[in-house]
Structure 1
Amino acid sequence: MKMWKKNLIVCWFGMFVSSIGMSQIAPVLPLYIKHLGISNTALIEQFSGIAFGATFIISAVFSPVWGHAADKFGRKPMLLRASLGMAVVIGSMGFAQNVYELIGLRLLQGVITGYSTACTTLIATQTDNEHAGWALGTLSTANIAGSLLGPMIGGFIEETFGLQNVFFMTGALLLIAFITTSLFVEESFTRQDKKAHSVKEIWNVVPEKSLTVTILVTFFVLTVALYSVEPIITVYVTQLSRNTSHVALLAGMAFSASGLANIIAAPRLGKLSDKIGAQKVILVALVMAGLIFIPQAFVKNPWQLMALRFLLGLASAGLIPSVNILVKRITPDSLTGRVFGFNMSAGYLGIFGGSVLGGQVASHLGIRYVFFITSVLLLINAVWVYFRVYKKLNLNE
């Protein structure tokens, strides 16, 4: 088996587990905060928001740092650092004595993340251009699958084994990821850039600044779009459903529908990007995703919502692989880790921004406006991508 294929398998498992570690806390966080002695409902909500959002904000700050370290010391050391660090930190959350210790550990979790950045950089730099789209598309499904299954896994462990075991079991899985990475990931790393650079100096040597900015903004917008519905989907399903006894199940199915479609379509659209060009796939995917958001505002029952969410997943599956392919295409290998680090920062900020946007728009304007505003964001981004990426790269081909 070729080295990049073996590394892809190991990285997929590690990214899947680390994504579970980032997302599994969502359903159990309010319960755990209550378990730690906070009884006031308003305070539980406040601390839950801080503890959940803080990890993504800190991750956005530190992703470029670890991307730089990956370019300097190699990608495998960053994989080992992140997987072992997250195993220890998430496992330690089970021993937290109060909510402040929990928030502190969540902040530390944000500091030590970087597994996804190192994995993406490793696969992008090892894979030949002919297979890059398929490989990066397959790799992207690990984050999607982990984010999709994480809340369900966390909820199942909490109900079956107790709150603290959510953290212990996730820590154990990350420890397995550390061991498999240590044993099976191969990297022949030669540092191409011997000089340390500041962010300004790095930016000065990025060859395609305009394209890079467009790609970073696109990744931010698409993560905002994908996560804008997350805070309000349960409320929306409640409004649509006549049988309120199964709201949680129906909401989970509606949320999972897009993730399932994404997992099915991402490797295939990544492979298509290899054949026709990532700039074509990303443009069509942005337009289709933007249009599919509109009818979600007019559905009459949860099943219609699920069907449209599934179609959205098929469309959006072409976005993340195409972003990663374009980053690989326009960035020298010596800077790949740093640029992927900036890209992951944009994604983490998009997750946080999307969750905030969805909640605020729903509370002030109504739930249906979340879909309209998200659609407008994606379609505006599609126009920008057409002029800044599609036309330029097509002329160069």
Structure 2
Amino acid sequence: MKKEKPIWKRNLYILSVAVFIAGIAFSEIMPFLPLYIDTLGHFTHKQLNFWSGFIFSGVYFVSAVISPWWGKLADKKGRKLMILRASLGMALVLGAMGLVTNVWQLFFLRMLQGFFAGFVSNSNALIATETPKEKSGQALGTMASAFTAGNLLGPFLGGALASAFNYRITFFITGFLLMISFLLSLFFVHEEGFKPITEKKLDKASGVIKTLRSPALIFGLLLTTLIIQAANNSINPIVSLYVKQLMNGHGNVVFVSGIIAALPGIATFLAASRFGALGDRIGTHKIIIGGFIGATILFFLTAFVHNTLQLGILRFLVGFTDACLFPQVQTLLTKNSPVSVTGRIFSWNQSAMYTGNIMGPLLGSFIAGISSYSMVFIITAGIVILNLILFNLNVVRNLGCLSNPVDE
């Protein structure tokens, strides 16, 4: 008789599929979102850049504020409940974006999307707490690969759907995909190992901080996450507009934008697990430092491209540096956080990520509005250098101070 798979393995399989689908849904609207905004009114170049920044940032503003509360609730009520709440809410909201008639309605729905955010972070938290400790790295790596693969396919699929149908139909399809993730989680995910956190001291952030081996290390990593996301997202509102400029308004801008937006995901998907394994051998923090150096060089060079081929090559290479950064920061957080407050730490990291997502598009849109698209990449390179300096000053020092560093 064939032995039945353990619950944690079945959860891993189902949630990796659900996260893959969610990754497609979240990223497939990005290549054409600024172009969709342009159809909702008559905007000048400067107005379009600013609206793109605000629309991109709306979801992250709300999420940054509310994520710690959702994380606290997840530790008390369970991660599955948070997974269902996020997937169903975002399915309805993203589908409704195809019905808007003006830019303010779209902005409101993006804010509402932020309220329901947390599907991926709570899925990771459930897997991290349900999986045996010796298998947690492998399990979280599988989840990261699944989400990256979805993000990889999403922009290409979104560009193709928008070209074949229209922007509105693509939003309806996006909502349907998230509904599939909701149904998979509802019927096939079982959270059996959950133990509600009832200690009153953990109701407050100060109580959570006291459970950490090195609070300075954790908060240093949260700051690193914030700046990584700010740098990566500073260019999101202007990628399709930059492509349009490079193509001089000729050709299928939406389709080319979708391909270029997907290229970093291809590289990240190919390299993330390999860099993770290398980090286990030589130190995860060394991989992160290498990522910072590579990203600085590539962002700077992108400011001087003359055609979409050059842009595509550099964006593909940026994907390798992405594989060295955010996934590896999550690895350090996982290894240095106690299970009892996993939901809270993951939610703090999500808030840091979303704060960076707010700052990045606003900064990129502002710079593009008053200067040029090329200047956005130059400023972004400077932000990465700043992150490298802060990471060395804070995180590496605190790793060295641990008597028995988990990362070694």
TM bucket normalised to smaller: 0.7 to 0.9
AA partner of residue 364 (structure 1): I
Which of residues 165, 174, 180 is equivalent to 2:178? 174
| Residues 369 and 132 of structure 1, relative CA distance in 2, 3 Å threshold | farther
Output the CA distance in 1 between the equivalents of 2:97 and 2:349.
28
Output the CA distance in 2 between the equivalents of 1:281 and 1:337.
26
Output the CA distance in 1 between the equivalents of 2:330 and 2:230.
17
Give per-residue Cα distances to partners, 1:140-181, cap 9 Å, x unaligned.
344444444444434444454555433332222222212211
| Residues 229 and 28 of structure 1, relative CA distance in 2, 3 Å threshold | closer
1:193 Cα deviation from its structure 2 partner: 4.4
Output the CA distance in 1 between the equivalents of 2:249 and 2:105.
40
Quote the residue 1:77 is aligned against. Answer: 81
Residue 211 of structure 1 pairs with residue 217 of structure 2: yes
Quote the residue 1:324 is aligned against. Answer: 330
Output the CA distance in 2 between the equivalents of 1:349 and 1:81.
22
TM-score by length of 1: 0.85
TM-score by length of 2: 0.83
| Residues 130 and 391 of structure 1, relative CA distance in 2, 3 Å threshold | farther
Quote the residue 1:40 is aligned against. Answer: 42
| Residues 277 and 182 of structure 1, relative CA distance in 2, 3 Å threshold | farther
Which of residues 283, 287, 293 is equivalent to 2:293? 287
| Residues 157 and 305 of structure 1, relative CA distance in 2, 3 Å threshold | closer
Residue 6 of structure 1 pairs with residue 36 of structure 2: no
1:94 Cα deviation from its structure 2 partner: 4.6
1:340 Cα deviation from its structure 2 partner: 0.8
Quote the residue 1:121 is aligned against. Answer: 125
AA partner of residue 297 (structure 1): A
Gaps of 5+ in 1: none
Give RMSD over aligned pairs: 3.1
Residue 183 of structure 1 pairs with residue 177 of structure 2: no
Which of residues 41, 60, 75 is equivalent to 2:64? 60
Output the CA distance in 2 between the equivalents of 1:179 and 1:161.
26
AA partner of residue 278 (structure 2): L
Identity percentage over the alignment?
38
1:373 Cα deviation from its structure 2 partner: 2.3
Residue 159 of structure 2 contacts residue 254 of structure 2 at CA under 8 Å; is this kept in 1? no
Matched length: 395
Correspondences of 1:281-320 after superposition (within 5 Å): 281-320=287-326
SS of match in other structure, 1:191: coil
Output the CA distance in 2 between the equivalents of 1:321 and 1:63.
19
Moved more, 194-203 or 339-348: 194-203
1:39 Cα deviation from its structure 2 partner: 4.2
SS of match in other structure, 1:298: coil
Output the CA distance in 1 between the equivalents of 2:292 and 2:48.
37
Give per-residue Cα distances to partners, 1:274-297, cap 9 Å, x unaligned.
343322222222222223323223
AA partner of residue 341 (structure 2): L
| Residues 45 and 224 of structure 1, relative CA distance in 2, 3 Å threshold | closer
Output the CA distance in 1 between the equivalents of 2:17 and 2:265.
17
Output the CA distance in 2 between the equivalents of 1:47 and 1:368.
19
Output the CA distance in 2 between the equivalents of 1:33 and 1:293.
26
Output the CA distance in 2 between the equivalents of 1:160 and 1:301.
25
Gaps of 5+ in 2: none
1:111 Cα deviation from its structure 2 partner: 0.9
